[in-house]
Amino acid sequence: MERNSSRDTTALEEPKDQASLEDSSSGPDSGQVHDSSRRKFLVNSGYVLGTLAVGGVISSLFGCAKDGEDNADSSAPADDNKEAAAPNYNRALMYFTQAQFRIVEAATERIFPEDESGPGAKKLGVAFFIDHQLAGDWGFNGRDYMNPPFFAGEKEQGYQGRLKRRELFDIGLRELDNYSQTTHGKGFAELEPDQQDAALKAFETEEVKLTTISAGSFFKMLRSATLEGVYSDPLYGGNLNMEGWRMRNYPGSQMSYLNIIEKDFTKIEPSSLQAHLASH
Amino acid sequence: MAKTLPKTDVVIVGVGWAGGIIASELTKSGLNVVGLERGKERKTEDYYMVHDELRYSMRYEMMQDLSKETITFRSNENIRALPMRQYGSFLLGDGLGGSGVHWNGQTYRFLPYDFQMRSMTTERYGKNKIPEGMTIRDWGITYDELEPYYDKFEKMAGISGEENPLGGKRSNPYPTPPMKKTPSMQMFAEATKKLNLNPYMMPAANLSENYTNPDGVARAACQYCGYCERYGCEYGAKADPVVTVIPVANKTGKFQIRTHSNVRRILHKGGKATGVMYIDVTTGEEIIQPADIVVVTSYVFNNVRLLLMSELGKPYDPASGQGVIGANYAYQVIKGSAVGFFEEKQFNNFAGAGSLGISIDDYNGDNFDHSNLNFLHGGVIALSQTGARPIQNNPVPSGTAAWGAEFKKKSLHYANRTLSIGAQGSSMAFKHHFLDLDPTYKDAFGDPLMRITFDFEDQDRELAKFLAERCSEIMKEMGASHVDYLKELGPYEIMTYQSTHNTGGVIMGAEPGTSAINNFSQMWDADNVFVVGASSFPQNAGYNPTGTVGALAYRAAEGILKYREKGGLLV
């Protein structure tokens, strides 16, 4: 529970600019609300007395580990113990080709574009998020029932295809690019934003007819994966620096809302699982 | 060749709420109990990293692995049933504590009308009120008879709440006071009072204050962290079997839990069970556990499936209406709700608890006159604040684009400016809604999957519309700038999450022939087999089922002890 107060105030008061976004500054959970609520919780329940002592040990251990990306904070004011900012090692590809990655980056940015309220999917790292997801269980439909026989079902019976998500992405992205080549003579990533919107719309409404997969279902999957990348914990590679959460005043992972639950809307600086692990 | 273990007094199939309660009650009375649980062990420390919407809500961390086992579904008998390949409509639990770990904790008692629905409906409206093909039944037990068991469950779990002004009579107040009231709940209270309705705080298993239960189990108060449904509780504040009844059973030294043990058959001879056959899923070994008494306490689908695969009880035949195992499958009508958008006000929507809410029962059961309505029953209407996590909650007013600049702008704007009022519409049983074994699709062991034949009926369409209109009236009274509500209920589909309140298939009743079990959950056809869970509901009420499942489990435990002494059918 011992915390570095200078880091706390930094995270609270520093407005996040472009640079801090790219460099993924550290975000120890912070704020008056949070602190006092946690203290109050300890008093209330007596639950964590044992954990408190242990928490101190664990937090000092994690405090020493300096190679994690989230410990690197190039935007924060100079700090006596500061080491050189580490690169974000999460920013590499596990599944997509570069060409696929560029299409996904462009398409997700149209689904969740940058505007005056904050960054879009591209800056938030959504394409990296989707890439990483496709490389694992989700991409292989590891926990879905994929046994034959396969029959085309009624709409109410849900997905009945034999293709896995990574295969659906391969086909969907290729078709999106084909469609762009046919209509504009350029790849999807090279189109103007409004042309990209029109292409995505043609998929969404199934104006585009594909033989192997449904263009509409592919778009739906792309849209929901985009929102997952915007709003999941930054540990998965999207929601960079919690900017997705910050834009909608979602506080992320907080231990307690006991002291605001009866109150009117209260703005709370977000906190991530990384901070939770490091602070206990 | 299966390995046969030494005989035990009682073997329990599935260690969730029902299995945990029964294990705790029986071991306290000195019986030796073996609990077979197909999933893994669980403990509070598992949830250190639980505030992870992607992992728990979107990737279904706590749920049954569908690659190994799922269900198949068809809307009617003329369609080929196909497997539910991905999660949608409902979520199947897995592991120690079962669905009792990832629930929200909304712990209602059913209304007296629910238990005597057929006779009370006939009495008030005449028997022509019940449409052709609707097979609603009385339970063979009344609310008053079940009341002491509700009381027991509530004390064990530490339910927080206040008396429902339109509910059945209570012998005791709730063991802990209601949860805290948020500004939006306050608004709901004021609006419903203005409309001459009867609001009361939602009964909650989240614990409004620190609590020690009659078994001596102490738990800490809820912190309103906003991660309940689909999550385990990192504080142990939300009552679940792992933090309440299972430790009590363990302490007796008479409870042996075997996780990773998937029961495939109940073994029986001459109308009596002799034990169960299960697979140790870590080794693939077949094991026989002989027992004097077999208690089936898995989720609805596996309770039914296990009986059908074991050829125990008479399978339901929808053509003749004869037979009982698989009959009266019911669900819930959850889409009759309203969403309100508030331009002038923001709320702490991110904070909450699974059963933090406020409810009315003015449109539930037969609390309102149905003479001029084309449906029976109703549902509880509630405003709850469970924590609007950002991947799954992006409400925008109807007509807004689903993606792009407009969607982003509006979804950010309304994230904390939206409230919703939901109704849990009841679900009636029909002759042609049932569960049986799928002829084509198999699980990882080669056993047939459960097949669901179900669709919404006129009853459900009328009910959903009615409830949505009531929700919308309240939302308008609360001062929303814009209200969207359901105008028409489409067909039942398996893709959208609706409710994990599936019921029926092994129903309770006053006599064999139209029911599978008596009011101690004892099988009419095999007196040493008890089948406990929402599988025993003849039709589904307009509430969450867990409080009633808990009460039935306490009653079943009492029945098992009685049976152990005297033998024979208890009713």
* pLDDT tens for chain B, residues 1 to 571: 799 999 999 999 999 999 999 999 999 999 999 999 999 999 999 999 999 999 999 999 999 999 999 999 999 999 999 999 999 999 999 999 999 999 999 999 999 999 999 999 999 999 999 999 999 999 999 999 999 999 999 999 999 999 999 999 999 999 999 999 999 999 999 999 999 999 999 999 999 999 999 999 999 999 999 999 999 999 999 999 999 999 999 999 999 999 999 999 999 999 999 999 999 999 999 999 999 999 999 999 999 999 999 999 999 999 999 999 999 999 999 999 999 999 999 999 999 999 999 999 999 999 999 999 999 999 999 999 999 999 999 999 999 999 999 999 999 999 999 999 999 999 999 999 999 999 999 999 999 999 999 999 999 999 999 999 999 999 999 999 999 999 999 999 999 999 999 999 999 999 999 999 999 999 999 999 999 999 999 999 999 999 999 999 999 999 999 999 999 999 9
Q: A145, B415: Cβ pair inside 8 Å?
A: no
Pairing of strands B522-523, B526-531: antiparallel
Nearest CA in chain B to A234: B52
Q: B66, A247: Cβ pair inside 8 Å?
A: no
Distance, first Cα to last Cα, chain A: 7
- 3-class secondary-structure state, position B365: coil
Q: Are B568 and B527 in contact (CB under 8 A)?
A: yes
Separation CA A178–CA A211 (nearest Å): 14
Q: B351, A117: Cβ pair inside 8 Å?
A: no
Nearest-Cα distance to chain A for B533, in Å, is: 26
Separation CA A248–CA A266 (nearest Å): 12
- Among the listed residues B182, B181, B180, B183, the one whose alpha carbon sits nearest the alpha carbon of residue B345: B183
Q: Which residues contact B332 (CB under 8 A, 6 or more apart)?
A: B424, B425, B426, B427, B498, B499, B501, B540
Q: Residues of A with CB below 8 A from B225's CB?
A: 254-257
- 3-class secondary-structure state, position B533: coil
Of A143, A145, A248, the CB nearest to B83: A145
Name which of B53, B85, B182 to mutate to probe chain A: the one with the most chain A Cβ atoms within 10 A of its Cβ.
Answer: B85
Radius of gyration of chain B (CA): 23
Cis (ω within 30 of 0) for the bond into A77?
Answer: no
Separation CA B363–CA B379 (nearest Å): 6
Q: Which residues contact A179 (CB under 8 A, 6 or more apart)?
A: A188, A199, A202, A203, A208
Of A142, A235, A266, the CB nearest to B67: A142
Separation CA B271–CA B173 (nearest Å): 43
Residue reference for tokens 């309240």: B474
Residue A15 scores a pLDDT above 90? no
Give the 3-state secondary structure of chain A: CCCCHHHHHHHHHCCCCHHHHHHCCCCCCCCHHHHHHHHHHHHHHCCCHHHHHHHHHHHHHHHHCCCCHHHCCCCCCCCCCCCCCCCCCCCCCCCCCHHHHHHHHHHHHHHCCCECCECCHHHHCHHHHHHHHHCCCCCCCCCCCCCCCCCCCCHHHCCCCCCCHHHHHHHHHHHHHHHHHHHHCCCHHHCCHHHHHHHHHHHHCCCCCCCCCCHHHHHHHHHHHHHHHHHCCHHHCCCHHHHHHHHCCCCECCCCCCCCCCCCCCCCCCECHHHHHHHC
CA angle B338, B199, B375 (to 5 degrees): 55
Q: A156, B75: Cβ pair inside 8 Å?
A: yes
Q: A110, B54: Cβ pair inside 8 Å?
A: no
Residue reference for tokens 């880091």: A7
Q: Are A258 and A39 in contact (CB under 8 A)?
A: no
- Among the listed residues B565, B553, B566, the one whose alpha carbon sits nearest the alpha carbon of residue B150: B553
> According to the model, what pLDDT value does residue A85 have?
80
Nearest-Cα distance to chain A for B179, in Å, is: 10
Separation CA A62–CA A82 (nearest Å): 15
Nearest-Cα distance to chain B for A277, in Å, is: 8
Q: A264, B404: Cβ pair inside 8 Å?
A: no
Q: Are A215 and A203 in contact (CB under 8 A)?
A: yes
- Return the structure tokens found at B390: 């950002």
Q: Which residues contact B191 (CB under 8 A, 6 or more apart)?
A: B474, B477, B478
- CA–CA distance from B410 to each of A209, B112, B399 (Å)? 31, 44, 11
- Return the structure tokens found at B495: 């893709």
Q: Which domains does chain B have, with CATH numbers?
A: 3-566 (3.50.50.60)
Residue B268: active-site member:
no
Name which of A157, A195, A217, A262 to mutate to probe chain B: the one with the most chain B Cβ atoms within 10 A of its Cβ.
Answer: A157
Nearest CA in chain A to B56: A232
Of A37, A47, A247, the CB nearest to B220: A47
Q: What is the mean pLDDT of chain A?
A: 79
Separation CA B442–CA B262 (nearest Å): 15
* Total residue length of chain B: 571
* Sheet of B82-83, strands arranged across: B82-83, B71-74, B448-453, B434-442
- Return the structure tokens found at B558: 């009492």
- 3-class secondary-structure state, position B441: strand
Q: A248, B65: Cβ pair inside 8 Å?
A: no
Of A138, A160, A227, the CB nearest to B85: A160
Q: A145, B66: Cβ pair inside 8 Å?
A: yes
- Among the listed residues A24, A249, A184, A219, the one whose alpha carbon sits nearest the alpha carbon of residue A108: A219
Q: Report pLDDT digits (tens) over A139-160.
A: 999 999 999 999 999 999 999 9
Separation CA A36–CA A32 (nearest Å): 6
Q: Residues of A with CB below 8 A from B407's CB?
A: 112
Maximum CA extent, chain B: 72
Nearest CA in chain B to A252: B51
Q: Are B221 and B210 in contact (CB under 8 A)?
A: yes
Nearest CA in chain B to A271: B51
> According to the model, what pLDDT value does residue B1 have?
75
Distance of CA B553 to the CA centre of its chain: 13
> According to the model, what pLDDT value does residue A56 have?
30
Q: Report pLDDT digits (tens) over A94-139.
A: 999 999 999 999 999 999 999 999 999 999 999 999 999 999 999 9
Helix axes A98-111, A126-134, angle to 10 degrees: 120
Separation CA A77–CA A7 (nearest Å): 9
Residue reference for tokens 């029932």: A145
Q: Are B174 and B162 in contact (CB under 8 A)?
A: yes
Separation CA B408–CA B420 (nearest Å): 20
CB atoms within 10 A of CB B473: 18
Q: B225, A256: Cβ pair inside 8 Å?
A: yes
Nearest CA in chain B to A46: B220
pLDDT category at A83 given cuts 50, 70, 90 is: low
Separation CA B449–CA B438 (nearest Å): 5
> According to the model, what pLDDT value does residue A200 have?
98
Helix axes B546-566, B17-28, angle to 10 degrees: 40
Q: Are B224 and B180 in contact (CB under 8 A)?
A: yes
- 3-class secondary-structure state, position B543: coil
Out of B102, B377, B433, B501, pick the active-site residue.
Answer: B501
Separation CA B184–CA B384 (nearest Å): 9
Residue extents of the structural domains in chain A: 5-90+250-279, 98-234
Q: Are B252 and B65 in contact (CB under 8 A)?
A: no
CA angle A256, A14, A60 (to 5 degrees): 55
Nearest CA in chain B to A109: B404
- Among the listed residues A273, A241, A59, A162, the one whose alpha carbon sits nearest the alpha carbon of residue B55: A273
The Cβ-side half-sphere exposure at B26, using a 13 Å CA radius, reads: 33
Residue reference for tokens 């596990």: A94
Q: Residues of A with CB below 8 A from B69's CB?
A: 145
Q: Report pLDDT digits (tens) over A45-76.
A: 333 333 333 233 233 333 333 333 343 333 44
Q: Residues of A with CB below 8 A from B95's CB?
A: none
Residue A20 scores a pLDDT above 60? no
